[in-house]
Structures are given as C-alpha cells and as structure tokens.
Amino acid sequence: MSATAPSRRVRLTPLTVRDYLVLLLAVLVVVLPLGYMILASFKGPGDLATTDLVVFPEVWQPENYSEAAQKVPFGRLFLNSGIVTVVGAGLKVLLAILTAYGLVFCEFPGKKYVFWGVLATMMVPPQVTALPNYVFISSLGGENTYWGLILPGLGTGFGTFLLRQAFLQLPYEVIEAAHLDGAGHWRRLWHCVVPMALPSIATVALVNVVYEWNDYLWPLIIITDPEMMTLPRGLTLLQNSESAASSFGVLMAGTVMVLLPILVVFALLQRHIVNGFTQGGVKG
Amino acid sequence: MTAVTTKRPRQALSGRRVREWLIFLAFVLPNVALIAVFIYRPLFQNIYYSTLNWTLGSKFATPVGLGNYRDFFTSGEAGKVLTTTGIFTVATVGLTLALGLGVALALNRRLPGAGFAQATVFAPYILSGYGVGLAWLYIFDPNIGALSAILRDIGLNSPEWINSPPWTLTMVIIVYVWKNLGYAAVVYLAGLQAVPGDLLEAADLDGAGPVRRFFTVTLPLLSPTTFFLMVTTILNSLQAFDLLIAMDKLGRGARTLIFDAYLTGFKEQSQAGYSAMLSTVLFAILVVLTLVQLIVVERRVHYR
C-alpha cells in the first residue's frame, strides 16, 4: 500500500487493481456492443424477435449477408466506396502535398494570406456548403455520378495544414543541396521532400481514407441511384426497406460490412491513425 | 490575428521572380480553386439563399430579406432547436471530457496492456457514425434489444428510447459519448505525460494525498489540454449528423440545428431558404466559437 515507493514493476496495489478495473471496463464497453453487432448479424428471426437476451445465435444464419446483398447491391456499394475512398483520398493527399510545397518552398507576395484562406476552410463544416453545392453539382448533371460524389470534397485545408507543418521541419540543407545540384522544384519535391516527409503524408492519407469511407451527408444528398451509392449511404436504403423486428439481422450484416474494413485498417495501422486524428484535432 | 509584416525593400520585377510566382501558383492553384468553388462560393451563396423563400427544386424564389431569421427566432422554434442543440452539446462535451480524463488517468499508469486498451477505446472514434448508430439502435430497441432484456432482468422497464423525444435525445447522447470518448482519452493522456513528475513528488512530500494532488497539481496543469478538447469537441458535437439521423430518422428527439437544417431543406417541405438560414446560424456560432478560441489562446493558454 505504499504509494511513496515508486517501482518499475507492477505490484498489485489497490491503485493498480483500480486502474486495471477502469481499463477493463472501458475495453468491455467498446468491445461488447461491437461483438454483439457481429453476432446479431448471424441471428435468424427466432433469435431476434424475442424479448430474452440472446448473445450467441441458436442457429447461425449467414444468409443475412446474402439477403442484405439482395436488397441492396452490396458488392457494387463496396466497389463504389472503394473507388471514392481511393480516388478521393489520393487526390486530396496529392493536392495537399502540392499546396504545402508551394507554401513552404516557393516565393509569392501575400503567401501568408493564401495559407490563411486555406486554413480557414477548416472552420466551414460540409453541412453549410451542402445545399449550394447540391444545386450547383446537380445543375451540371453530377447527380448519381462518381465525379459529382468526389469533386466537391477535394479542396483540403486539413491536409495542407498538417503537411505544411511537416515540410517546415525538414532539414533545409538537404533540399538546398539538391537545389545547388540543379534540381528544379518538381525534382526537389518528389526526390527530397516527399521521401523525407513520408510518415506525415501517410498520416494525412489514412485520416482522409477514414473520412472518405465514412462520409455520409454528401452521398446522402447527391446519390439516389442504388447502383451508385457508397456503403454508409446504402445502409440508409437498407434501413428504410427493412422494418420488421426480425430484419435487424440483415441490417446488422450491412452494418458489419461498413464498420469491419475500417476496424481492420485500424488494427493494422492504429498508431498512425491515432496520431493523425489527434494532431490538429479536426476530422477530414 | 493582425498581419505584422516586415516590409522588405521592393526588388525590381525580374523575370526570375515572376517565374517563381508562377511556379507557386501552379503548385497551389488546383487546391485553392477547388476551395474557392466548393467552399467559399457556396458559403456566401448559402447566406444569399437564407434571404429567400424558396422550395428546393423550384425555379421561383421570393426574396424575403431577414424574414426567415425573424420567423425562426420569433416562432419559438429557435428556442426548441437551440435548446436541443445546447443540451446535446453540453452533455456530450461534459461527459466525453470527464470520462476521457478518467480513462486517461488509468492509461497513464502504463500498466501492461495499456497500449491495447488505448487503441481499443480509440477505435469507435474512426467508425462510421451511421453504422455505429444502427448497431446501437438494435441494442437500445425497447422490445427486443439487449439493454431492455438486461433491464428487465434486474426488474426495470426499458425507457421508451424510440418514441419519447427526451429519451431519444438521451440515447443519442450516450452513443455519441461512446464514440468520442477515446479521442478525449488519448489527447488527455498526452497532456498527462507532460505533467512534470517532480511537481507531483513535491506535493506528495508536502503531505498531499492523491486526490488533493490531482485537484491542486494535475488538473490545473491540464487546463490547456482541457481547453483544447473543449473547443474541438464542441465543434464536433455541433456538427454531429450521421449518428443522429441513424438513430432518430425523423428528428423527433435529437433535432439539433444541423439536423434541422438537413430535414427542412432536403426532406419535409424542402424549404431551401429556411434551411440555408439555419446553416448560416450554425456557421455564425462556429465562427464566434473559433474567434473566442483564438483570443483565449493568444491571451493565456500556451500549449506545446
């Protein structure tokens, strides 16, 4: 019980026990609902439409997944989400790299104001621009198209901000040496700056991947054709087409398809993702 | 945020300098153009829309000046929507910070397994709000949900999570906190690791117990972190949307400002002008909060 003697080894003091209980509770609070969701996606009507607590399905019914895929073209939605995520996040990262490079390594009068103008966009939530963008994009025929889905979200304040910070911290001598060797801006960018800033670029990429995969409001507004929907958008369709209590199995199957890919990516790269989301404290 | 530029002596416009400017523009222009067209243009257009009586999809709109604003603030709707927004924001921010700090304190002991716990607690933060909402909707279902079964086992009736607006709002708050708690925990953990150990030891030698040490040393030193988290979580809560619409499709209990703007503009009567007014009000609130943050940061809080 002596809290005064600091020790590197873990002793089972009441404090340690208390902290373990807190952590255990926190982990359970996160894991149990997600686990329950996954189990529910395999439940048949009998296990669903009951007031009793059924944790494990009595009869495993993987047909929920094929049924969900019948009601909503999930294969196609996966593809759409994949395209939007890869293209959207990829272009955003590219734009952020170019903008940050210009802001850090090029000369321009009033460069600072350009930076502020880009930075200030982080204050504008997509919901505020949604209505005029919808009017604009649909007038151009962008409803139910990939470009209509991707284009309006491409301008990036967050990525520019983060990469500018990263580029400012790079060893200037290396880039200057390349300059003296006769390397132009383009060469310096791709042969010096990008390789050195790769961890930051990866972080920005991951944050954007997560953001694009989960994005909901814009796809909700601009896409009405099931064939063009992204996964979260398709869930809405599934939710609207299902109303009976027993249909939760199908709905949970759809939800698992939306949540699981991000969970897998997170499990593999959690350190980078946590860093990305806690730097600057903004999403997207 | 006033510009303090030290004017350099103007150099003659040489071809090289102009070339350098053009290179800058080539690098920056794609992003800046997209931002101008898809963020700044609609931002101002939205303010213009807010002065119209206009149904989405209609070719005709009547200018009504500040009529939409007047209707909103005098009809009692403002009171209702802003109260819901306020309750949702204050409750989610307060609970997220308090619980996040609690988890961070436990994580800070760096017990074996703490890394795993940290990653697990953070995970919901990056999940789709819509998916999370649906997963919890099944748990909260008053008839067949796991929660109602558990409550029944201990002799309680499940609240009407779906049909009673105050309970719906409560449910949404709980799930939103569940989703965001890990973010606060990780940021608080970073703040805790910056608290100098010798200060805590000094307080210990002065006879301060752990509770007293926490309140007199740790918590005050964490105030920049708390402030930062408060600002970011307030901004996030004000923008919460997909989780809300997943759990409360018609906006009967959790109709916050942003949710109201969506429902009035794109659903219900498609009142685009009125909806634009609502999102303009939301934007004004966000601007004020951001300015307050900038002023406070300049004045006293120094982080990093």
Residue A224: phi, psi to the nearest 5? -120, -20
Per-residue pLDDT, B133: 95
Rounded to an integer, what distance in angstroms lies between the CA atom of residue B203 and that of residue A92?
49
* Shortest alpha-carbon distance between residue A230 and chain B (Å): 12
Asked if A177 has any chain B CB less than 8 Å from its own CB, the reply is no
Q: Residue A138: pLDDT above 90?
A: yes
Are B170 and B140 in contact by the 8 Å Cβ rule? The answer is no
Q: Residue A187: pLDDT above 70?
A: yes
Per-residue pLDDT, B142: 85
Per-residue pLDDT, B11: 55
Are A272 and A203 in contact by the 8 Å Cβ rule? The answer is yes
Same domain membership, residue A159 and residue A267 = yes
Of A66-80, A144-158, B279-293, which gets the smallest average pLDDT?
A66-80
Q: Which of B130, B187, B234 to mutate to test the interface with A (most CBs of A within 10 A)?
A: B130
Same domain membership, residue A261 and residue A148 = yes
**Within a domain: residue A8?**
no
CA gyration radius for chain A? 24
Residue of A nearest to B56 (CA): A135
Look at residue B54 and give its three-state secondary structure: strand
Q: Which residues of chain A are within 8 Å of residue B185 when distances are taken between CB atoms?
A: 26
Would you tell me which residues 38-67 of chain A have a C-beta closer than 8 angstroms to some C-beta of chain B?
A: 40, 48-53, 55
Cα B238-A33-A210 angle, rounded to 5 deg = 50
Are B125 and B182 in contact by the 8 Å Cβ rule? The answer is yes
**Within a domain: residue A66?**
no
* Shortest alpha-carbon distance between residue B261 and chain A (Å): 9
Rounded to an integer, what distance in angstroms lies between the CA atom of residue B88 and that of residue B98?
15
Residue B81: phi, psi to the nearest 5? -65, -45
How many beta-carbon contacts under 8 Å exist across A and B? 280
**Within a domain: residue A48?**
yes
Q: Which of A2, A42, A51 to mutate to test the interface with B (most CBs of B within 10 A)?
A: A51
Residue of B nearest to A19 (CA): B106
CB burial of B190-228 (b: ≥16 within 10 Å; e: otherwise) equals ebbeebeeeebeebbeeebeeeebbeebbeebbebbbbb
* Shortest alpha-carbon distance between residue B255 and chain A (Å): 15
Per-residue pLDDT, A280: 54
The DSSP element (H or E) to which B52 belongs, if any, is strand B52-54
Please report the domains of chain B, with CATH numbers, ordered by start residue. 83-250 (1.10.3720.10)
CB atoms within 10 A of CB A205: 19
Is B262's CB within 8 Å of A127's CB?
yes
Q: What is the DSSP string of B246-300?
A: HH-TT-SS---HHHHHHHHHHSTT-BHHHHHHHHHHHHHHHHHHHHHHHHHHHHT
The CATH number of residue A146's host domain is: 1.10.3720.10
Is A133's CB within 8 Å of B23's CB?
no
Rounded to an integer, what distance in angstroms lies between the CA atom of residue A238 and that of residue A160?
37
Same domain membership, residue A227 and residue A95 = yes
More confident: A122 or B170: B170
Same domain membership, residue A114 and residue A39 = no
Q: Which of A10, A53, A211 to mutate to test the interface with B (most CBs of B within 10 A)?
A: A53
Per-residue pLDDT, B87: 97
Asked if A204 has any chain B CB less than 8 Å from its own CB, the reply is no
Same domain membership, residue A214 and residue A142 = yes
Is B39's CB within 8 Å of A136's CB?
no
Rounded to an integer, what distance in angstroms lies between the CA atom of residue B227 and that of residue B155?
41
Same domain membership, residue A140 and residue A89 = yes
The predicted-structure confidence for A28-52, as pLDDT tens digits, reads as follows 999 999 999 999 888 887 777 777 7
Q: Residue A10: pLDDT above 70?
A: no
Per-residue pLDDT, B275: 95
**Within a domain: residue A39?**
yes
Same domain membership, residue A183 and residue A106 = yes
The predicted-structure confidence for A226-242, as pLDDT tens digits, reads as follows 999 999 999 998 888 76
> How is residue A4 written in tokens?
């005064």
Look at residue B207 and give its three-state secondary structure: coil
* Shortest alpha-carbon distance between residue A92 and chain B (Å): 9
**Pick from A27, A131, A277: CB nearest B125:** A277
Q: Residue A246: pLDDT above 80?
A: no
**Within a domain: residue A213?**
yes
Same domain membership, residue A182 and residue A92 = yes
Is A131's CB within 8 Å of B276's CB?
yes
Same domain membership, residue A114 and residue A139 = yes
Helix A74-105 and helix A198-214: axis angle, to 10°? 140
Same domain membership, residue A76 and residue A44 = no
Per-residue pLDDT, B278: 96
Same domain membership, residue A155 and residue A133 = yes
Is A216's CB within 8 Å of B190's CB?
no
**Within a domain: residue A274?**
yes
State which amino acid sits at residue A2.
S
Rounded to an integer, what distance in angstroms lies between the CA atom of residue B122 and that of residue A270?
9
**Within a domain: residue A192?**
yes
Q: Which residues of chain B are within 8 Å of residue A282 when distances are taken between CB atoms?
A: 232
Which residue bears the tokens 């000369």?
A: A107
Is B39's CB within 8 Å of A121's CB?
yes
Is B204's CB within 8 Å of A156's CB?
no
* Shortest alpha-carbon distance between residue B225 and chain A (Å): 11
Same domain membership, residue A186 and residue A76 = yes
Q: Which residues of chain A are within 8 Å of residue B37 when distances are taken between CB atoms?
A: 155
The predicted-structure confidence for A257-275, as pLDDT tens digits, reads as follows 999 999 999 999 888 888 8
The DSSP element (H or E) to which A26 belongs, if any, is helix A14-40
Is A251's CB within 8 Å of B103's CB?
no
Q: Residue A171: pLDDT above 50?
A: yes
Which residue bears the tokens 């048949």?
A: A44
**ipTM score of complex:** 0.89
**Residue range(s) defining the domain that contains residue A50:** 15-61
Q: Which residues of chain A are within 8 Å of residue B256 when distances are taken between CB atoms?
A: none
- From first to last of the 304 residues of chain B, give the pLDDT tens digit: 444 455 555 556 678 888 889 999 999 999 999 999 999 999 999 999 999 988 888 888 889 989 899 999 998 889 999 999 999 999 999 999 999 999 999 999 888 888 899 999 999 999 999 999 999 998 998 888 888 888 888 888 888 888 899 999 999 999 999 999 999 999 999 999 888 888 888 888 888 888 888 888 889 989 889 998 998 899 999 999 999 999 999 999 999 999 999 999 998 888 999 999 999 999 999 999 988 888 887 776 544 3
Look at residue A53 and give its three-state secondary structure: coil
Number of domains in chain A: 2
Q: Are strands B52-54 and B61-63 parallel, antiparallel or unpaired?
A: antiparallel
Are B293 and B121 in contact by the 8 Å Cβ rule? The answer is no
**Within a domain: residue A9?**
no
Q: Which residues of chain A are within 8 Å of residue B132 when distances are taken between CB atoms?
A: 259
Which residue bears the tokens 């734009």?
A: A95
Strand ranges inside A31-85, DSSP E: none
Are A16 and B108 in contact by the 8 Å Cβ rule? The answer is no
